[in-house]
C-alpha cells in the first residue's frame, strides 16, 4: 500500500479549520484508493512565534525535511502585525521555506466554474464558460532574494534602500521547463510575461524563454507580453491565456489579480514545486490555498475549505504521482459547488453552508462516483 508522508502546517486564522476538512477528505480518498496517510503536524507562523519565538522553528523544518510534501494552511494575522517586517509570519515562515527547499515553481490555477460566474468582478458575458488560466510564478529568484538588499545612510544623511533583481539563465530555463510541461497537458499555449523594454533581467528572460521553447517545445504556441499589458489583458479577457508564466514579483502581482478575476479566494489552490526530489523521486512541494488567514471569519466555522481541499489534490498529483485520486477530488469539489453546496463567500443569496458541511458535500460526491 503506498504511504503518503506529508507535513501538515495548518498555521493561523482559518488555516486549522480548513486543514481539518482537507484531511478528512484525504482520509476518505485514502480509504477508497487503498493509500496509507502519514501526516505529521508542526507549528508555523504566528502560533509558532507565540510558542517557540520564531515563525519557522527548527523542529518544523525538520518535520518538513522528513516528509515527501508539505500541506500548508495559512500564516499571519493582526496579532503579529506590529512585529518588525522581517519577523512577521508571512515573511519569516514562507520565504525561508521557499528558499530552504528551492521551491522555484509556483503554480496557481485560476479556475472559475461557469456556474460561479457571478463571483467574478467581470461581467458574466465576458466569461460565458468561466475561467481557466494557469499562472506559473518563478518563486526563488528575482528581487525577492537578490543581494544586496539593505538600507543605508548616505554621506549627506539621506537614507537609501536597495533591492536587487537578479536572474540566471539556468533559473529561467528551469521555470520555462515547468511551463512547457504544464502547457502540454492543457491548451498548449504559453505566454511569458516580462518587462524587456526596461529591465536587463527581462531581456535575458525573453531571450532565454524564446531559445528554450524553440529547442524543447516548438510544437507549443509561445507569446510574450510586457507586464503592464498583461495586467490589462487579464481583466479584459482572461481566457486568452492558457499558461501564463513570469518572474517572482510580476507573478506575485499578476496572480493576485487573476485570483480576484476568478472570484472567490476560497476556491484557489496552489502548488510550489521544488528543485529537489522526494523519497519517491517526485518533486518535493508545498501546497497551500491562495486565500490567506481571513482573520475576520476565523474560528466561526464558515470559511470555504475548497482551496485547501484542492491544494491537497495538487499534492497527490505532483508529489505523490496520484493523478486519479487528485482528479477525483477536483471533480467532487466541482460537483459539490455546482450542485449547490456553497459557503458564504460563493453563496450569492443562496443558503450558505459551513466549513464542515461543505467538506461533507465533497465527500458525498466522492462516495457517489
Ligand atoms: C504570496 C504572498 C507572499 C509573496 C508574501 C506573504 C511574502 O503574497 O505568496 O503571493 O509575496 O510571495
Ligand atoms: Mg502575493
Instruction: Please indicate whether residue 86 is annotated as part of the active site.
Output: no
What is the tens place of the pLDDT at every residue in 310-320? 999 999 999 99
Give 169's pLDDT tier (boundaries 50, 70, 90): very high
Task: Say what the pLDDT of residue 277 is.
Answer: 96
Task: Say what the pLDDT of residue 129 is.
Answer: 94
Give yes or no on whether 1-114+266-369 and 121-261 have one common fold: yes
12, 132, 144, 167: the catalytic one is 144
CA of 256 to the centre of ligand 2 (A): 6
Whose alpha carbon is nearest atom 3 of ligand 1? 90
What is the tens place of the pLDDT at every residue in 45-85? 999 999 999 999 999 999 999 999 999 999 999 999 999 98
Q: Superfamily assignment of 1-114+266-369 in CATH? A: Isopropylmalate Dehydrogenase (3.40.718.10)
Instruction: Please indicate whether residue 256 is annotated as part of the active site.
Output: yes
207, 228, 277, 324: the catalytic one is 228
CB contact at 8 A, 186 and 220 = no
Instruction: Please indicate whether residue 195 is annotated as part of the active site.
Output: yes
For a mutational test of ligand 1's pocket, the pick from 252, 256, 270, i.e. the residue with the most ligand atoms closer than 8 A to its C-beta, is 252
> Which atom, in ligand 1's list, is nearest to the CA of 106?
9
pLDDT surpassing 70 at residue 369: no
One of 1.10.10.10, 3.40.50.300, 3.40.718.10, 3.40.190.10 is the CATH number of 121-261, namely 3.40.718.10
The 3 state secondary structure assigned to the chain is CCEEEEEEEEECCCHHHHHHHHHHHHHHHHHHHCCEEEEEECCCCHHHHHHHCCCCCHHHHHHHHCCCEEEEEECCCHHHCCCCHHHCHHHHHHHHHHHHCCCCEEEEEEEECHHHHHHCCCCHHHCCCCEEEEEEEECCCHHHCEEEEEEEECCCCCEEEEEECCCCHHHHHHHHHHHHHHHHCCCCEEEEEECCCCCHHHHHHHHHHHHHHHHHCCCCEEEEEEHHHHHHHHHHCHHHCCEEEECHHHHHHHHHHHHHHCCCHHHCEEEEEEEEECCCCCEEEEEEECCCCCCCCCCCCCCCCHHHHHHHHHHHHHHHCCHHHHHHHHHHHHHHHHCCCCCHHHCCCCCCCCHHHHHHHHHHHHHHC
Average pLDDT of the residues of the chain: 96
> Which atom, in ligand 1's list, is nearest to the CA of 256?
10
Domain boundaries, the chain: 1-114+266-369, 121-261
Instruction: Please indicate whether residue 113 is annotated as part of the active site.
Output: no
79, 163, 189, 252: the catalytic one is 252
Whose alpha carbon is nearest atom 2 of ligand 1? 252
Give 265's pLDDT tier (boundaries 50, 70, 90): confident
Nearest to 195 by CA among 235, 214, 161, 167: 167
Whose alpha carbon is nearest atom 12 of ligand 1? 252
What is the tens place of the pLDDT at every residue in 191-233? 999 999 999 999 999 999 999 999 999 999 999 999 999 999 9
What is the tens place of the pLDDT at every residue in 22-35? 999 999 999 999 99
Q: Which backbone phi and psi does 232 adopt, to 5 degrees?
A: -70, -45
| pTM, to two decimals | 0.96
Amino acid at each position: 500500500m503506498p504511504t503518503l508522508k506529508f507535513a501538515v502546517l495548518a498555521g493561523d486564522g482559518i488555516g486549522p479549520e480548513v486543514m481539518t476538512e482537507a484531511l478528512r477528505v484525504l482520509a476518505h480518498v485514502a480509504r477508497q484508493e487503498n493509500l496509507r496517510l502519514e501526516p505529521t503536524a508542526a507549528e508555523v507562523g504566528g502560533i509558532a512565534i507565540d510558542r517557540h519565538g520564531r515563525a519557522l522553528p527548527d523542529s518544523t523544518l525538520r518535520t518538513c525535511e522528513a516528509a515527501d510534501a508539505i500541506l500548508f494552511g495559512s500564516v499571519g494575522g493582526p496579532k503579529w502585525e506590529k512585529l518588525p517586517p522581517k519577523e512577521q509570519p508571512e515573511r519569516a515562515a514562507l520565504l525561508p521555506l521557499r528558499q530552504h527547499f528551492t521551491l522555484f515553481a509556483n503554480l496557481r490555477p485560476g479556475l472559475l466554474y461557469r456556474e460561479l460566474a457571478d463571483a467574478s468582478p467581470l461581467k458574466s458575458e465576458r466569461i460565458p464558460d468561466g475561467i481557466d488560466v494557469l499562472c506559473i510564478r518563478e518563486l526563488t529568484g528575482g528581487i525577492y532574494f537578490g543581494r544586496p538588499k539593505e538600507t543605508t545612510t548616505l554621506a549627506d544623511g539621506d537614507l537609501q534602500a536597495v533591492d536587487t533583481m537578479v536572474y540566471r539563465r539556468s533559473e529561467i530555463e528551469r521555470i520555462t521547463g515547468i511551463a512547457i510541461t504544464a502547457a502540454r497537458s492543457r491548451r498548449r499555449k504559453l505566454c511569458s510575461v516580462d518587462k524587456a523594454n526596461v529591465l536587463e533581467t527581462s531581456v535575458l528572460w525573453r531571450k532565454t524563454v524564446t531559445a528554450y521553447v524553440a529547442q524543447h517545445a516548438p510544437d507549443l504556441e509561445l507569446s510574450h507580453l510586457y507586464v503592464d499589458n498583461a495586467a490589462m489583458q487579464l481583466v479584459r479577457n482572461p481566457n486568452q491565456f492558457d499558461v501564463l508564466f513570469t518572474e517572482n514579483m510580476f507573478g506575485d502581482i499578476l496572480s493576485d489579480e487573476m485570483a480576484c478575476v476568478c472570484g472567490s479566494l476560497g476556491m484557489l489552490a496552489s502548488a510550489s514545486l521544488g528543485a529537489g526530489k522526494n523519497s519517491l523521486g517526485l518533486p518535493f512541494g508545498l501546497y497551500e490555498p491562495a486565500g490567506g488567514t481571513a482573520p475576520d471569519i476565523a474560528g466561526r466555522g464558515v470559511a470555504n475549505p475548497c482551496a485547501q481541499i484542492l491544494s491537497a489534490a495538487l499534492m497527490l498529483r505532483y508529489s505523490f504521482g496520484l493523478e486519479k485520486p487528485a482528479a477525483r477530488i477536483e471533480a467532487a469539489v466541482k460537483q459539490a459547488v455546482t450542485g449547490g453546496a456553497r459557503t458564504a463567500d460563493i453563496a450569492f443569496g443562496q443558503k450558505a453552508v459551513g466549513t464542515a458541511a461543505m467538506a461533507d458535500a465533497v465527500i458525498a460526491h466522492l462516495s457517489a462516483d
